[in-house]
Amino acid sequence: MQISFIDKRLEAIYEKVLNNSRLCKQDGIDIYGTPDLIGLGRIADHVRRTRHGKKAFYIYNQHLNYTNVCKNQCRFCAYAKEGGEKEAYAWSMEEIEKRLLDRIEEPVNELHIVGGLNRDLPFDYFIDLLKTVKRVRPKATIKAFTCVEIDYLSHVSGLSIDQTIDQLKQAGLEMMPGGGAEILNSRIHDELFPDKIGHERWVEIVKAVHRSGIKTNATMLYGHIETPEERVDHLIRLREIQDDTHGFTAFIPLAFHSKNTELSHLPPTTAVDDLKNIATARLMLDNFEHIKAYWVMIGEPLAQVALNFGADDLDGTIIEERITHTAGARSAKGLTTDQMETMIKAAGFEPVERDSFYHPVTK
């Protein structure tokens, strides 16, 4: 396919893409710096359509954020509370079961479960949580806990990382989300989330998770204090891990929302930046099969556009998402499958309802 570029730097990048040559760090920096958004989008769209044609995936999922109490108190987080605060909560097993039963007639295929590092919750709580969810929703995949939570549970339980993962697997853990890495960079870690595990520990844990046979997603939180170079370093590090473990299922760029955080003075990400992050991920992460446009963070209309900029997945119905909306997200708090399919079809793509592992769901 012949493409005419305003930014001539994209010609060499496109040539590499056509020759299946891996992009280097400078290529990533040039992509972030290009003013030629449409040219960039056409390259990313070429890769996306080569892999997936006109298919656009989504899943019927439900979020369970079991507690908002967290000892880390990261500067970019609007969700975390100290124990004893008015809005602080930790759900009992009865409350979790009730929330599941309230939607038991809906064809939920995945339970996405994450929460804060709550000192009052013993390791047995998490085992009971997984067993409760699996009992009520035996056919749904449990995608739970970030690497940050796994590290914390290892300390709480006194078990090694491998032993912790094994105990959680036996209780029902089948997949993990990709949060907690934010940006794999020491400068940003020290300034924004010093009490959270560092990037080397995150890498160590995610590799252990993959070795155990559990697939995970990968993410990048962008739009705060990071530089384009630090974004590219993050993507390359994820690419290296994937070369090693082949354990990442999808990559999700996460647009930072600053409302109600210590960084509330920062402006929201722009549509151009959101689309650049999706396109850059599609081009740099050549060993990732799927790139998500997370509509909760960038909004439904821009997520539709992102399907032409490298994204092939809109995540899902996301019933009861709390974390991003606490930070000021204006998107819906959940969508129906009809709304998801309408959104995909209107963008010119073919909706495919999937399970957690990208197998099509037959209705």
The string of pLDDT tens digits covering residues 79-98 is 667 777 788 999 999 999 99
Report the alpha-carbon distance of residue 134 to residue 141 in Å, rounded. 8
pLDDT at 198 over 50: yes
In a domain? residue 327: yes
* Residues 6 or more apart in contact with residue 6 via CB below 8 angstroms: 35, 36, 38, 39
Report the alpha-carbon distance of residue 334 to residue 342 in Å, rounded. 14
Report the alpha-carbon distance of residue 272 to residue 280 in Å, rounded. 12
What is the β-pairing status of strands 248-255 and 215-222?
parallel
CB-based contact 281:236 (threshold 8 Å): no
Burial 92-101, CB ≥16 within 10 A → b, else e:
eeeebbebbe
In a domain? residue 33: no
In a domain? residue 139: yes
The two most distant CA atoms of the chain are separated, in Å, by 61
CB-based contact 210:151 (threshold 8 Å): no
CB-based contact 178:143 (threshold 8 Å): no
Report the alpha-carbon distance of residue 215 to residue 293 in Å, rounded. 19
Report the alpha-carbon distance of residue 146 to residue 8 in Å, rounded. 40
* Per-residue pLDDT at 328: 40
In a domain? residue 187: yes
pLDDT tens sequence across 151-174: 999 999 999 999 999 999 999 999
For residue 230, the enclosing domain spans 57-353
pLDDT tens sequence across 28-49: 999 999 999 999 999 999 999 9
Q: How confident is the model at residue 236 (pLDDT cuts 50, 70, 90)?
A: very high
CATH at residue 275: 3.20.20.70
In a domain? residue 12: no
Report the alpha-carbon distance of residue 62 to residue 144 in Å, rounded. 12
In a domain? residue 48: no
Distances, alpha carbon 221 to alpha carbons 141, 212, 231, in Å: 25, 26, 9
Residue type, 56: A
Report the alpha-carbon distance of residue 244 to residue 274 in Å, rounded. 28
In a domain? residue 29: no
User: pTM score, two decimals?
Assistant: 0.93
Q: How confident is the model at residue 327 (pLDDT cuts 50, 70, 90)?
A: very low
What is the β-pairing status of strands 110-113 and 61-64?
parallel
In a domain? residue 207: yes
Domains contained in the chain, number: 1
Torsions phi, psi for 62 (to 5 deg): -130, 135
Two structure tokens written together for 129: 């949580």
Report the alpha-carbon distance of residue 73 to residue 77 in Å, rounded. 7
